[in-house]
Amino acid sequence: MLDKRLQSVAGLVRCGARLADIGTDHAYLPVWLVAQGICPSAIACDLREGPLENAGRAVAEAGFSSVIDCRLGDGLQPITAGEVDDIAIAGMGGETIAAILEACTWAKDRALHYVFQPMSRSEELRRYLLTNGYRIVSELTVCEGGHWYVCMDAVWEDTPPIVDEAAYVIGGLSATADREWLLLRQAVLKKRYNGQLRSGDREELDRLRAILKKLEEFLS
Ligand SMILES: C[S@@+](CC[C@H](N)C(=O)[O-])C[C@H]1O[C@@H](n2cnc3c(N)ncnc32)[C@H](O)[C@@H]1O
């Protein structure tokens, strides 16, 4: 059984997709998706040997060694173009996820479907995606153990760059956006705004004011 966070990630993976799980660690995600019959195969990758050994052990114990391949390497480097359909990158900082995409020569492919779960700096990931031809299809937030997690799925469509600070900071404000999470974001942004009032960075103040205005309009 997956925890709520990984369950949300799993829920965004397409049925029938050959999966790449980047930063797999214990390989919970690919093992679960293959066990459920959602993914016929998967490639579980990790930068470090220890986590990859954990993955190999979990895959062998589940009896999936013939369909889940464990590979060592940085980001998407262990994968060859065309080997997978869906790519999950969960449990890393948003800036690391963006760097992994940027370093990959074949990431900008309309056939690919991405699932991201940034642990921090989701703003930097959205900024990268929205200014590099990606479209964020949907975003969802999940609360577990008192922590909020953001999950998003995205595609690359050569979309013109979106310059929208609010979209980078709070994501797409859709009807399904979680009100409780948005209220928390609003409180954090207000605190940041008040902090800036004291230090007096004019540009940052204008940026935060515009984001807060958009958020307030949406919440009202
Ligand atoms: C916190 S764990 C997340 C495990 C799992 N994806 C999850 O969400 O529960 C992060 C994993 O990402 C791996 N990692 C960090 N940077 C990486 C990179 N550039 N490429 C591949 N794996 C990376 C780490 O070694 C670690 O095993």
**Does position 177 have pLDDT exceeding 90, yes or no?**
no
Type of residue found at 73 = G
pLDDT at position 140: 92
Averaged pLDDT for residues 10-17: 98
- Say yes or no: CB of residue 3 within 6 Å of ligand 1: no
Q: How far is the CA of 92 from the centre of ligand 1 (A)?
A: 6
Query: Does 169 lie in the same domain as 112?
Result: no
pTM metric for this prediction: 0.95
Range with the poorest average pLDDT among 44-48, 114-118, 130-134, 162-166: 162-166
Q: Are residues 133 and 204 in the same domain?
A: no
More confident residue, 174 or 116: 116
Mutational test site, ligand 1, from 1, 25, 147, max ligand atoms within 8 Å of CB = 25
The answer on 194 and 103 residing in a single domain is no
If you take atom 24 of ligand 1, which residue's CA is the nearest one? 23
| 108 Cα to the center of ligand 1, angstroms | 21
Q: Are residues 198 and 145 in the same domain?
A: no
27 CB within 6 A, ligand 1: no
Q: Is 48 close to ligand 1, i.e. is its CB under 6 Å away?
A: yes
Question: Residue 200: what pLDDT?
Answer: 78
Q: Are both 121 and 179 inside the same structural domain?
A: no
Task: Evaluate: CB of 54 within 6 angstroms of ligand 1.
Answer: no
Question: What is the distance in A from the centroid of ligand 1 to the CA of 146?
Answer: 22
Do residues 51 and 134 share a domain?
yes
Render pLDDT for 182-210 as a digit per residue (tens, 0 to 9).
999 999 999 999 998 888 788 899 999 99
The pLDDT value recorded for residue 6 is 98
Question: Does residue 104 line the site of ligand 1, with CB under 6 A?
Answer: no
Whole-number CA gyration radius for the chain: 18
**45 and 151 together in one domain:** yes
**Res. 173: pLDDT tops 80:** no
CATH number of the CATH domain containing 17: 3.40.50.150
Whether the Cβ atoms of residue 204 and residue 196 lie closer than 8 Å to each other: yes
Domain co-membership, 53 together with 117: yes
Look-up of token digits 């195969």 = 41
Task: Judge if 150 and 169 occupy the same domain.
Answer: no
DSSP assignment string, the chain? ---HHHHHHHHTSPTTPPEEEET-TT-HHHHHHHHTTS-S-EEEEESSHHHHHHHHHHHHHHT-TTTEEEEESSTTTTS-TTS-SEEEEEEEEHHHHHHHHHH-TT---TT-EEEEEEEE-HHHHHHHHHTTTEEEEEEEEEEETTEEEEEEEEEE--PPPP--HHHHHH----TTS-HHHHHHHHHHHHHHHHHHHHHT-HHHHHHHHHHHHHHHHHH-
Percentage of the residues of the chain whose pLDDT score is greater than 70: 100
Counting the structural domains of the chain, the total is: 2
Does residue 191 have its Cβ closer than 6 Å to ligand 1?
no
